């Protein structure tokens, strides 16, 4: 099986870059990376995902946000990887590949690039017409879903608007380095110093966001953007997995008043709860591994994700006026 992580000489986790970086565009021209030839068409594209992977979760979120369920089909892999990587159980309706009948995700990579020797990661955006991988970079895929398929959906919301892109990119970089990838830097660290640095980075960032969300609604103020949806998959997994498996155990997310309410608000956003599979998340992270050698999956924690979040826009406006900001 291809390794999912590497470490440097200091024992720090280093994530390998995605290797398929083509784009689906409205007219089929090339996107910011890769080559052209992938035109947005209903029924042409397919997502290979797992419910436990936060990077794959991003794509499920945008598929739901943009109401693309009838435009882009999906196959969901089993949450526990095998020695051959992500697998699809042919007799399991919840973890099967109804498109190509693949048993392992690696079959998609090998069909797209014979002799491929990289990592077999999710998500994968697959082109049914040319039988190849368009992209395995989640950050690119969510931007394709955000705008390329607007002709085929009633939802024209833009979560990456041009006037806000510089600020979104800035926040994304901070959130990715300190939180999204920060929990993995802690969990996959091979030295005490590397672990402690990642641990401190994660909680410093959570403290900063807790303060930010105490006086504004979203990461960009009143505007719900891509940045919020890139943060959400890590937050929803925090108490379920990262607190225990990755030893990010200074505080549980439920102890952050504003972050926890913000997480519940995003979870309760139309269509989002259906993209969260708590059982798959726990199975995926607590599987048999060097971090949990017996593979015992915890029953808890009990999280009431439908508890009213009580985050009202006028309350933030009032707070802003009181502080003069």
Give the residue numbers annotated as catalytic, written as ranges.
53, 184
Using CB atoms within 10 Å of the CB of residue 57, give its burial: 0 to 12 exposed, 13 to 18 middle, 19+ buried: buried
Name the 3-class secondary structure at 27: coil
The residue length of the chain stands at 325
118 prior amide bond cis, ω within 30: no
| Cα–Cα dist 156/67, whole Å | 10
In 4-85, the DSSP E strands lie at 6-7, 13-14, 45-49, 72-76
Using CB atoms within 10 Å of the CB of residue 311, give its burial: 0 to 12 exposed, 13 to 18 middle, 19+ buried: middle
Q: How far is CA 241 from CA 82, 247, 276, 277, in A?
A: 19, 9, 14, 13
48 prior amide bond cis, ω within 30: no
Tokens of 45: 């594209």
């Amino acid at each position: 099986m291809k390794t999912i992580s590497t470490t440097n000489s200091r024992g720090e986790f280093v994530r390998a870059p995605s290797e398929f970086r083509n784009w689906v565009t409205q007219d089929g021209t090339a996107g910011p990376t890769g080559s052209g030839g992938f035109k947005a068409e209903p029924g042409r594209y397919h997502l290979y995902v797992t419910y436990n992977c936060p990077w794959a979760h991003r794509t499920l979120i945008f598929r739901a946000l943009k109401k693309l369920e009838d435009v882009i089909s999906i196959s969901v892999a089993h949450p526990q990887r095998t020695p051959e990587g992500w697998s699809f159980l042919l007799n399991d309706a919840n973890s099967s590949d109804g498109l190509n009948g693949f048993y392992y995700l690696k079959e998609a990579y090998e069909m797209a690039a014979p002799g491929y020797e990289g990592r077999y990661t999710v998500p994968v955006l697959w082109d049914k017409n040319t039988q190849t991988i368009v992209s395995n970079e989640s950050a690119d895929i969510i931007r394709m879903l955000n705008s390329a398929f607007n002709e085929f959906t009633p939802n024209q919301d833009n979560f990456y608007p041009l006037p806000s892109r510089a600020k979104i990119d800035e926040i994304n970089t901070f959130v990715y380095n300190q939180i999204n990838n920060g929990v993995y830097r802690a969990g996959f660290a091979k030295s005490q110093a590397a672990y402690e640095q990642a641990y401190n980075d994660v909680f410093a960032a959570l403290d900063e966001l807790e303060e930010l969300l105490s006086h504004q609604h979203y990461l960009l103020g009143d505007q719900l953007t891509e940045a919020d949806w890139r943060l959400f998959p890590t937050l929803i997994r925090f108490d379920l997995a990262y607190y225990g498996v990755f030893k990010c155990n200074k505080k549980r997310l439920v102890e952050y008043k504003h972050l926890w309410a913000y997480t519940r608000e995003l979870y309760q956003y139309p269509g989002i709860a259906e993209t969260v599979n708590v059982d798959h998340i726990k199975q995926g992270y607590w599987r048999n591994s060097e971090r949990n050698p017996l593979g015992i999956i915890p029953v808890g924690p009990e999280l009431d994700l439908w508890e009213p979040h009580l985050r009202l826009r006028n309350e933030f406006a009032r707070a802003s006026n009181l502080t003069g900001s």
